[in-house]
Structure 1
Amino acid sequence: MPEVELLLRSRRVVTPEGVRAASVAVAGGRIAALLPHSAQAPPGAAVADFGDDALLPGLVDTHVHVNDPGRTEWEGFHTATRAAAAGGVTTLVDMPLNSLPPTTTVPNLHVKQAVAGPKAHVDVGFWGGALPTNRADLRPLHEAGVFGFKAFLSPSGVEEFPPLGPRELEAAAREIAGFGGLLIVHAEDPGRLDAAPAAEGPRYAGFLASRPRTAENEAIDALIALARRLEVRIHILHLSSADALPAIAAAKADGVPVTAETCPHFLTLTAEEVPDGATEFKCCPPIREAANQDALWAGLAAGTVDCVVSDHSPCTTDLKVPDFGRAWGGISSLQLGLPVLWTEARRRGHTLHDVARWTATAPAALASLGCKGAIAPGRDADFAVLAPDETFTVDAAALHHRNPVTAYAGRTLHGVVRSSWLRGRKIADRGTPLAGPVGRLLERA
C-alpha cells in the first residue's frame, strides 16, 4: 500500500457492494484501501471520523450549463463550481451551449478550458456540440478530449446552437459512430412541438400542453432506431415522459447501445403543484403529472433510467418573467441535487446505495471517468459527507450559484451535506466552499 496520509472513518460508507462501517485510506489523492472501521491509522496520517454521517462517493454531474464565457451574468465557473462543492458534487461536465462561443470547435474548446481552469473548485470536463455545420469538427473535438456530443432535435433557445434535422442527425451519428464516440440528445420532436398549442401567459397547464409527451416519445423512438441501425452510442437527456420507458427497456434488452438520464425535478416536483406564474419551475421538457413521476421512479428502480443529474440551467432573475411563453426555461439545482433526490428516495424506500449509484457511479460510467464515481481502491478520493436524517429549509439567497432563483425555495429537505472532498482534500465544509480553486480540467480517457 502507498504511504497513507489520510484515514476517513464512518459507520455508513457507501461502497459499490453496499453500505458498511469502514475506514477509507487515502494516499496521493486516491483511495488506497477500504479497511475495517476500527483500523489503526498509520503513523503521520490524519484521521477524520464522521460517526453516523454517511460517506458517499463525490457526485458526478454530467449535465451542467455553466454559460461561461459569454453569458456569465447567468452563471460562471467560479460560482457554479462553488455551488457544486457545497452540494457534494466533485465532478461536473459542462454543456456546450449557452456560452459564447459554444463548444463546437477545438479553438472554442480551448477558450472554454482557459476560462474554466483558474476558476474550478471541482473537477470539470466538457461536452462538445453537434451542429448542422460542424461535422468536420467532431473527430478533432473527440481527439481533443470532449466526453461526447450534444445535439438538439428542436430549437435550443439560443441561435448559435441550432438543431439537427433528420439527415443532419444521421450524418453526425455516422461520424460519431466511426470513432466510437457518444451522442447525447435533447429528445423532443419539432413537428409535434409545432403542432401543439403555443405557450403563453402565466398558466402552467398551458405550458405543459405546449410540450406534449408525444414529442419526447416519438423523438426517443427515432433515436433508438438510429442507435440500432448505426450501432452508435446514444444517451437520452433529461427524460421527462415515462411513456418512453418501455421502448428504452426493450432496446436495452436487445443490446441497443442506448442509455437515459432523468433529473431531480422530474422525480420530486409535479405539474399539479406548480403555481401559475411560477416560472422558476419552467424547463424543457417539462415537469409532468404525479402519475408520470411514479412511473419514472419505477423506471429508475428497474435500471431503465441509468442516472440522475441536475440539468442545472440558470439565468438572471429578470429572465424568469411570470409568463411561461417568454420566461427562460431552466431549473437551478446544482447545490441541492443530493438532498432533493434523497428526500424523495428515502420516502419511497430507496437507499443511499441507490442514490450513490444514480448520481455518481452511473454518470461516471457514462462519461468513461474510470477514476470517479465509487468508493473503491484506485479511484480518486472524492467524497460527499451526508447527514441523511437531518433536515434544512432551502433559502435561495444562501445558495452559491450566481442568481438566487430555484424551484426548491422554501422546501424542507432531508440530508445535510456536511463536507465535500476532492482527491483527499476538503473543499467545502457545512455548505461553505473552502480555499481557492483546486479543481482540474478533465479529458476523455
Structure 2
Amino acid sequence: MSQGRLIVACDFGTTTFRALVTEVFPNGDLEIVGHAVREAEGFQDGDFVDLAAGSRCIARTILDLEKDSDIFVTGFTYNISGSHLRSVRATASVPIGPGPRPIRPGDVDEVRNRARGMAIPFDHKILTVTPVEFAVDRVKGIVDPLNRVGSQLEMQAHLITGSRSVLHNIENAIETAKYKPLGEEVDVLATAEALLTAEDREKGVMLVDIGGLVTNWAVYRKGTIVANGMVPLGGEHLTRDLAHGLRIPHATAEETKCQRGVVLRSLVDEVSIDVLFDQAKPEETPGLVAAILEPRVEEIFTFVKRDFGDLRELANLGAGVVLTGGGSRCRGTRQLCEEVFDLPVSRRHLPVRLRGADRLPGGQWATVLGLSLWAAGDFSEGEAHVPGPGGGGLLGKLRGMFRRGSRETMEAEA
C-alpha cells in the first residue's frame, strides 16, 4: 500500500465522532483502511463546550482508529459545523489596467483577495471564498475570465465564515489530545464532496443532510455553491417526539425510529389516536409512528425551503434534492421531501467509487469520506513523488504526518 496516498480524517458530529484512514487513488477512488466511531462527549453545536471531555473523546477515537488500521497517527483533517457559521454573498472588482488587455491569473487572485478582505464581524474568520460568477466590463455570467480582454474584472463570491473562538477551541481540543490539526473544511461542503457529482453541481442541486440535532443544506448551480445554511432540527428531535408522543423510553424510541420508522401516513394504515391508550407497545403500530413523525419531518423540510428563500431558483434545480444523514433513513422521507420541494429527490449515503464499504458499520460516513477527498484534492500521478518526508501543500503535510506501523514500533524507532 502506498503510504503517500493515506489520509486521516475525523468528523466531529453532534452525537458521534467518526474517524477514517483511507487510501485515495489518482482517479478519485477511495479504499477504507481503518475506521473508528465513538459517542461524542463535550461537543455541542459545533463547539467543544467541555474541553477535557472532548479531548479525551478525540484521543480515544483516534486510538481506536490506530488499532483498527495499524497506523500511527499524529494529525488529521476535521470538519467545522454549528450555528456560528455564516454565509454571505460578496462582490469585489479590480481595474485591469489603463486600457483593455487579456485577464491574467494574477488579476483573478487579486479580485479573490479583495472579496476575502470584505468587512465581516471582527470575531469571525473567513473559511471559504468560492467564486459564483465573474463579470468583465459589466458583461455578467462569465465562468472563466482568463484571457478575456477587458478593463475591469468583477466577481461575485460565496463566503462562509466561522467564529474565531470556536475555531480556536476546536484546535485546542485536538492539540490537548496530542494531535496536530492539519486542515478544516465546512461539514456540508465535505459531504457534498463525497456525494454530489459534477453533473449534479452543473445542473443545480440542493443537498440536505439531516444530522443528529441539526440539518445542514447547500445549493449548487453551474458547478459552484451559491448558498448554504442550517436549521436547528434533526434526527434526535424525531426520537424525542416518539418518546414523548408514545410515552416510551428514549432508547426504545431510538430503536423504533431506526428499525420501524415511517414518516408518511399515506404509506400505512390510518389509526385513531385512541389506539395509543389501548396498546401495551404503541411503538409497534406504524400508523401511530407515522402520525408523530410526519409533522416533524415536514417541518424540517419546510424550514430548509424557507431558509433558502429563492423559490424561483429552487424550481430550476435540474438535479433536484439529494438527501443524506441518519434522519433521512426513515421510510417515506424521500416521498415527503418531494411533496415539500416539488422536485425529484434521491437518497445517498456513500460515494459510488468506494472500496471496502462493507467494513463500515451502520451510520453516516459521507462527511468524513468527503474530508478525505478534500484533503487529497491536489493529488495526481504527477505529484506522487514530492521532496522531503511529506512534500509541499496540504497533501504533503498529510503524507508526513503518519506512517504504517504500531505506536510502540514508531516510538522504538524514534
Does TM-score exceed 0.5, indicating one fold?
Answer: no
Structure with greater strand percent: 2
Considering only CA atoms, is the larger Rg found in Structure 1 or Structure 2?
2
Name the structure where helix makes up a greater proportion of residues.
Answer: 2
Q: Calculate the TM-score normalised by the size of structure 1.
A: 0.33
